[in-house]
Structure 1
Amino acid sequence: MSYETVEVLRDGGVATLWMNRPEVHNAFNAQLIADLSAACRALDADASVRVVVLAGRGKSFSAGADLNWMKAAGEAGEAENFADAMKLAGMLRTLAEMSKPTIARVHGAALGGGMGLASACDICIAGERALFATSEVKFGIIPSAISPYVIRAIGERQAYRYFQTAERIDARRAAELGLAHEAVASDALDAKVKEVVDALLLGGPKSQSAAKELIRAVANRPLSDAVVEDTARRIASLRVTPEAREGLDAFLSKRPAAWVDN
């Protein structure tokens, strides 16, 4: 896979998707949005990829939208702006709905759309120098495309504050808010990401995908007969799969499951 603004590096079943516009702190433009969308689709379709790590080259994870690109968009008509916004929204959804585990490796700035990327990943690990913000109101706009993922990460109550104040959120505060799963020393960031990756590689690929679907099906829904029945059907259908049979047999036999890279 070859792209203009992103680089994909493989290490066995782990693919690291590097945003590669360091000269502008990996700010979004039309090309980066297109490349991220295409790379996520390709990695999701590749059965040999078990885990995807999203990272940024240079000093920042992603500083959000490229302001020159945003200025040009602002000078276009509403129809053109809607088309651009839909491409950004589509890219974030593609990332969020990948069937395999995703980890945001965040160092430096993760502002605006960068905070959206971190929120759209399943797991976020932040270095101590990471800085997050929904900074859009400072430019007279709103964090619209990223809002489903940021609100999912920090909750509605906190969103009321940070969507309006655009305050910077350091790594420690990000962990308190639930935006980052962990905040670690900068020199420990890669080790912590690897620790989480190693844990993920022990799980069954199909069960991890099913776990993501389960969360989307159950989250924010009231407990009802339909929800209870749906959860029962999901576990019943998985129990009879070859992956589940292999996992249970491996555990009882005290051996690694077939999907574990020995």
Structure 2
Amino acid sequence: MTYTTLNISRAGHIATVTLDRPDVRNAFNELTIAEITRAFRELGEQSDLRAIVLAANGPAFCAGADLNWMKKMAGYTHAENQADALQLAEMLRTIYLCPHPVVARVQGDCYAGGMGLVAACDIVIAAEPVQFCLSEVRLGLIPATIAPYVIKAMGEQAARRYFLTAERFDAAQALRLGFAHEVVAVEALDDKVAEIVKALVNNSPHAVQQAKVLVREVSGQTVNDALLADTAQRIAHIRASEQGREGVASFLEKRKPAWLL
């Protein structure tokens, strides 16, 4: 499939989805949202993939909403605005629920909805000069659609501050908040992303997918008998799976597992 606002490449078990509207700082509009949604749906169905990198061309990662798109939204009815917002929500959910791990390679500034894109990813690697900003309230708006992902990523207390103040904060602060997992020099960004991706590829593809589901479904749950039964069932199921048996056998036999051959 061809894309207008994205570049999609593949090398072995790794796919890279690159935002490609550098002239507008990779801001998104209806087309970008539709294409990102379609790209992650299609890639999610490719069973031989092990990881997806979400990247961007140009000096900015994503500036949020495109200005021309915002002008159009100003004339929308309530129903049109709700339908439009649901398209953005579906894009974020598609990334968040993608069966393959998604690594955000954040090379430049990331504002508003762009932070939602990053927060929906599993692992976030940012370059040191990157600035983040939840700028919506400056425009009389709120970061509603991206809130479920951003609050999960940075925590409620940090969200209270940055949702309300629209302050910029740097990559070092993003790291302290837990929004970013790694912050590196610009020249080290690709090497760090490659290091993380290699770690993902070396692991059991089935186990990685199930571990992603595990975090999503167990996080925030009350530790009770139902949760204990659920987690016991999960480990019992994966121990009996083909890759579970192969992984343990290869470890005991001191050989590479089949997924690395």
User: TM-score normalised by the shorter chain: which range applies?
Assistant: over 0.9
Residue in 2 aligned with 1:34? 34
- Alpha-carbon shift at residue 258 of structure 1 (Å): 1.4
Please state if 1:151 is matched with 2:140: no
Structure 1 gaps, min length 5:
none
Residue in 2 aligned with 1:172? 172
Residue in 2 aligned with 1:191? 191
Please state if 1:65 is matched with 2:27: no
TM-score by length of 1: 0.98
Residues 45-90 of structure 1 show CA distances to partners (whole Å, capped at 9, x for unaligned) of 0012110000011111111111220121121111111111000000
Residue in 2 aligned with 1:221? 221
Residue in 1 aligned with 2:163? 163
Residue in 1 aligned with 2:253? 253
- Alpha-carbon shift at residue 108 of structure 1 (Å): 1.2
Counterpart-to-counterpart distance in 1, 2:250 and 2:61: 39
- Return structure 1 stretches of 4+ with deviation > 2 angstroms: none
**What is the alpha-carbon root mean square deviation over aligned residues?**
0.9
Please state if 1:16 is matched with 2:7: no
- Alpha-carbon shift at residue 183 of structure 1 (Å): 0.5
Residue in 2 aligned with 1:115? 115
Counterpart-to-counterpart distance in 2, 1:85 and 1:217: 25
Task: Give the letter aligned to residue 69 of structure 1.
Answer: W
Counterpart-to-counterpart distance in 1, 2:169 and 2:105: 16
- Alpha-carbon shift at residue 259 of structure 1 (Å): 1.3
Counterpart-to-counterpart distance in 1, 2:237 and 2:37: 31
- Alpha-carbon shift at residue 132 of structure 1 (Å): 1.0
Counterpart-to-counterpart distance in 2, 1:254 and 1:102: 30
Task: Give the letter aligned to residue 130 of structure 2.
Answer: A
Equivalent position SS for 2:10: strand
Please state if 1:211 is matched with 2:202: no
Counterpart-to-counterpart distance in 2, 1:145 and 1:255: 47
Residue in 1 aligned with 2:88? 88
Residues 169-191 of structure 1 show CA distances to partners (whole Å, capped at 9, x for unaligned) of 11111000000001000000000
Residue in 2 aligned with 1:43? 43
Residue in 1 aligned with 2:99? 99
Moved more, 190-199 or 201-210: 201-210
- Report the number of matched residues: 261
Counterpart-to-counterpart distance in 1, 2:70 and 2:228: 46
- Alpha-carbon shift at residue 256 of structure 1 (Å): 1.6
Identical aligned pairs, as a percentage?
49
Residues 131-170 of structure 1 show CA distances to partners (whole Å, capped at 9, x for unaligned) of 1111111111010111001000110011000001111111
Task: Give the letter aligned to residue 17 of structure 1.
Answer: V
Moved more, 170-179 or 249-258: 249-258
Task: Give the letter aligned to residue 61 of structure 1.
Answer: F
Equivalent position SS for 1:64: coil
Moved more, 246-255 or 105-114: 246-255
TM-score by length of 2: 0.98
